[in-house]
Chains A and B, each alone.
Chain A
């Protein structure tokens, strides 16, 4: 039986701090983007901090994840460096992908993040494959594959889950059901009530949990990770949550109501965990406020440092030509 994230001060602090870092990081990104200081496109996971944090906190450092286009939270929760992440989003040479990948392709292989993905469901078969690879090398690592509700309707999801099931691979399929695939609601895109019901068709366990409760996510994923590590095969975990912001910058939010968004904002996973640890007396108000302040300061520092970093020079690129280019950077 795993202990709860909010039972002791040290764990509660790092859990809360991680969630605040994700929130503040994305608020900073939102702001930089709105002011035209960040280009490309961004997908924010504000409101979904508990599923990223609860899940990654159930993993060992040498366990791995595959992530999605909405992957800032996964990346931070798995232990990535904030400055290098911000540098990547600001298209800097010091970023995780040397400015070549941006938000949708961010990866920190050193902390076990095998990569965000611009292709919906693209990371799911890769997670199964990584789990296979680790097991074939005699490593007892587990891989968690994050994906959205929308991704569960791609062929890649079905093929990957089946492979993992028949080979009993050490993988956890973590569906962050935030209710919409872009504008298409789960009510319209599924004829089943819970996405976890899909597990039945592949002969693996499936469970739906409150994805805004970081402790519940953590406990559920911990169990699934234990089972995976001990040879029991994959589990499909559905964490029900909500994305507060639009899908991306072009989203006019015509497909959902303000009331619905407001309702979910009241179920803020961070404030909820704060309330829990305060009530349990694990942290006091001063400690909680200090954590918030520290997260804000850390993100400011990361933005400042990333802004000052050099941009990649197109020197490794010849002029467009018909000749074979040098090895791609």
Chain B
């Protein structure tokens, strides 16, 4: 059984360039930062160890040498101060891009993110804008344990006034970040730390990918998998293996969690009749609970051949021991099992 659907529009945008250059996700982020800073003097970065150190995950690399200490600004370890400074600089007409070393440390900065950045435009009746970007790596898989491995995207997506982006490919890492920097609102960009060293095609000159546009990564007939972050590539891998078993899977990546472009998701689920929602974050009150609600609130519910299924990380802190850590979040095998049983049970 092979898919008979035409090749999907994988990015939601028209192709922008011609070469088939392959770069890493981290390089793609750096390229976006470099292009944005070169194009607009208002764009500058601030964060811990982003200068000569090149960033805790090596993302900023040589940007310090290219753009100088004023625009690639090393800060003390002061997350609340850093984000607050970005809010202020944004109000003053700049376009700051903050790097928080691990997304877990946004906890320190929550007041500035949630009560200040997200609220100001609305609260002031539109009299001011906060065009800032906060980039931070999330996720488990590096043995960094409970305080360095969380997936807190649902927190941010829950707050009106924040846009939340989770790029799953190198091309998206670049394109979504460029759009985030353009955006007049505060945008949280959650990069997955396991993806930094993965590579993907990013055509020379590849440009913006609009925020709020879901991507169809693979079109299949039997099951719709909705996945974010590193779960996208795991789901695609699962889909390959399932295809060999005759189960034909769609993989849909919302990319922007807030605002959520749900039409392509609901459309695909209506077609397959089966929804498997995969996230790394714990299930309880997670992002995929929102997706599940949208399914049951829409006419897609009438087309379901089986109940919507969620596959989430366990509701526990991420453990240190490698075998516990990998058991705590969905792996390819678990996705295959869940998809297979979804088909079998219906």
Contacts and interface: CB of A to CB of B under 8 A. Distances in A.
Contacts of B312: 320-322
B322 A91 contact: yes
Nearest to A39: B143
A317 interface: yes
Contacts of A139: none
A322 B108 contact: no
Interface string A287-317: 0000000000000000000000001111001
B53 A329 contact: no
A103 to B, nearest CB: 8
Contact of A320 (B78, B108, B313): B313
Nearest to B316: A328
Contact of A154 (B57, B77, B311, B313): B77
B76 interface: yes
B147 A150 contact: no
B321 A254 contact: no
A181 B143 contact: no
A263 interface: no
A102 interface: yes
A161 B323 CA distance: 40
Nearest to A41: B144
A314 B334 CA distance: 14
A35 interface: no
Summarize A's interface: helix, strand, loop or mixed.
loop
A84 B324 CA distance: 19
A206 to B, nearest CB: 19
B330 interface: yes
Contacts of A10: none
A281 B271 CA distance: 86
Interface in B279-337: 283-284, 309-317, 319-324, 327-331, 334, 337
A120 interface: yes
A99 interface: yes
B320 A91 contact: yes
Interface in B204-246: none
A321 B311 contact: yes
A324 interface: yes
A190 B77 CA distance: 11
A131 to B, nearest CB: 22
Nearest to A104: B145
B77 A120 contact: yes
Contacts of B54: 252, 254
B80 interface: yes
Interface residues of A, number: 50
A325 B328 CA distance: 11
Interface in A99-144: 99-102, 104-105, 117-122
A317 B147 contact: no
A314 B317 CA distance: 14
B197 interface: no
Nearest to A99: B321
B119 interface: no
Contact of B143 (A102, A313, A318): A102
Nearest to A90: B321
A154 B323 CA distance: 34
A250 B101 CA distance: 13
Given A102-B143, A119-B105, A325 B316 contact: yes
- Chain B CB count within 10 A is highest, among A150, A153, A154, for A154
Contacts of A251: 53
A254 B53 contact: yes
A183 B327 contact: no
A203 interface: no
A245 to B, nearest CB: 15
Contact of B145 (A40, A252, A312, A317): A40
Contacts of A322: 283, 309-312
Nearest to B77: A150
- Chain B CB count within 10 A is highest, among A39, A151, A251, A254, for A39
Given A40-B145, A118-B148, A321-B311, A184 B322 contact: no
- Chain B CB count within 10 A is highest, among A100, A117, A156, for A100
B89 interface: no
B74 interface: yes
Contact of B321 (A91, A151, A321, A324): A91
A255 B53 CA distance: 7
B49 A182 contact: yes
A311 B316 CA distance: 19
A328 B317 CA distance: 8
A319 interface: yes
27 contacts: A40-B144, A91-B320, A100-B319, A100-B321, A101-B145, A102-B321, A104-B148, A105-B147, A105-B320, A118-B147, A118-B148, A119-B104, A151-B77, A153-B78, A155-B78, A181-B76, A183-B51, A250-B57, A320-B311, A320-B314, A320-B327, A322-B310, A322-B312, A325-B315, A325-B316, A328-B315, A328-B317
Given A322-B283, A324-B284, 7 more contacts: A97-B320, A100-B145, A101-B320, A154-B108, A181-B76, A319-B337, A320-B312
